[in-house]
A and B are shown apart, each in its own frame.
Chain A
Amino acid sequence: MLNKLLFAVLLAYTAQAQAKETAADNYKAYCVQCHGMEGNGNGVNIRDMSVIPRDHTDSKAMSGRADDMLFKVIKEGGTSISKSVLMPQWEGVLSDEEIKDLVLHLRVLCKCKFGS
């Protein structure tokens, strides 16, 4: 009986740990520190950074990136697409599904699509 109870608690616990967060919340927690409250690259951390974070509202620059490229740079970090190491890899923090949602979120921020 106690075992069963423990098991149920454990299940509820792991399910909660893996619950998906919304893209807006993930952006707020993880990206705003560098990319800024407005997503324009002016985060609170940029003062001494040697490479400035991408302006996610820049539709010209952002439309030059395919969705799978955005997915890759978020998951594997700047160096995976020959960009700065200052853009971290978020694998292990964000699930693939959450990263896919973030790519959609970036398309809302830039009001753009790939190649347009």
Chain B
Amino acid sequence: MKQLFILSAALVFSGTAVAEEGLLQKDCATCHNISGPVAQTLKEALAKKGPDLSYAGNKYLQKWIVSWLQKPTRIRPAGMYYGDHIKPGPKGDEIDVSTLTDHVAISKEDATAIAAELMKLKPHDDLIAKEKIVPGTITKQMGEMNFDKFQGCMTCHLIEPEYGGFSGPQVYTAANRLQPEFMASFIRNPQAWEPKTWMPNKHVSDSGIQKLVQYLEMLSKEAVNAK
């Protein structure tokens, strides 16, 4: 009885999968986790070949996925696990660019279909519902001081192509990629999303989180205008 149940569940699942998301399940899933659960051990976390997409619908802006997949640019300057892409240099560890590869680009049609599929993956509506984004602005100077000096976020994140750290994703386009509630939730508790991530919980206050999100929103608008 139980076996029958599992078997039929698997059949239903693969039935829809093949019809609607062949590319996603076949090609993309060789590097991306699409079905969850996220990495629970360091071994799994360090072996990841691409960002976890199993909660994509809670994380990304659909519009961004569609355009990025057609013309991908580098987001993580030192790759997935930075340790696989660094070498000792005269001024300390440096990125070994020869170990980084470009992301596959796909057609507009495929990108649109895949983005729509990805946006259905929402296992963390609960975490997103906890975040309320307060509209507001922050001056660039204050935002930067907060991000760099008070919170120490720039040690791992580039806030412009030539300034910041390398072990995390660049953040000067973060708000063009990510839902504001996701950014707030991830800053509040990165381990709730990725238990083994090397972004620490900086225990930022509620108002501090609002300021950081406002700053990231501002940075991304600037990055767009600069183009």
A residues lining the B interface (CB < 8 Å): 1-2, 5, 13, 16-17, 19, 21, 25-26, 28-30, 32-34, 36-38, 42-50, 84-86, 88-93
Contacts and interface: CB of A to CB of B under 8 A. Distances in A.
Contact of A36 (B93, B150, B151, B189): B93
B162 to A, nearest CB: 9
Contacts of A93: 191, 200-201
B91 interface: yes
- Size class of B's contact patch? 35 or more
A41 B195 CA distance: 26
Interface in B1-59: 2, 5, 37, 40-43, 45-46
B184 interface: no
A36 B92 contact: yes
- For A13, A44, A49, A85, which residue has the most chain B Cβ atoms within 10 angstroms? A44
Contacts of B165: 33, 44-45, 47-49
Given A5-B2, A92-B191, A37 B155 contact: no
Given A25-B42, A37-B88, 12 more contacts: A19-B41, A29-B81, A32-B93, A44-B93, A47-B92, A48-B154, A49-B165, A84-B152, A88-B202, A89-B201, A90-B200, A93-B201
Contacts of A45: 155-156, 165-167
A88 to B, nearest CB: 4
B186 to A, nearest CB: 14
A19 B195 CA distance: 12
Interface string B143-178: 000000111101110000001111100000000000
A50 B144 CA distance: 14
27 contacts: A21-B42, A25-B42, A28-B46, A29-B42, A29-B45, A29-B46, A29-B83, A33-B82, A36-B93, A37-B88, A37-B93, A42-B92, A42-B93, A43-B92, A43-B93, A44-B95, A44-B165, A45-B155, A45-B166, A46-B92, A47-B165, A48-B154, A50-B149, A85-B149, A85-B152, A92-B191, A92-B200
Interface string B90-119: 011111000000000000000000000000
Contacts of A49: 155, 165
A49 B93 CA distance: 14
Nearest to B165: A45
Nearest to B151: A85
Contact of A85 (B93, B150, B196): B150
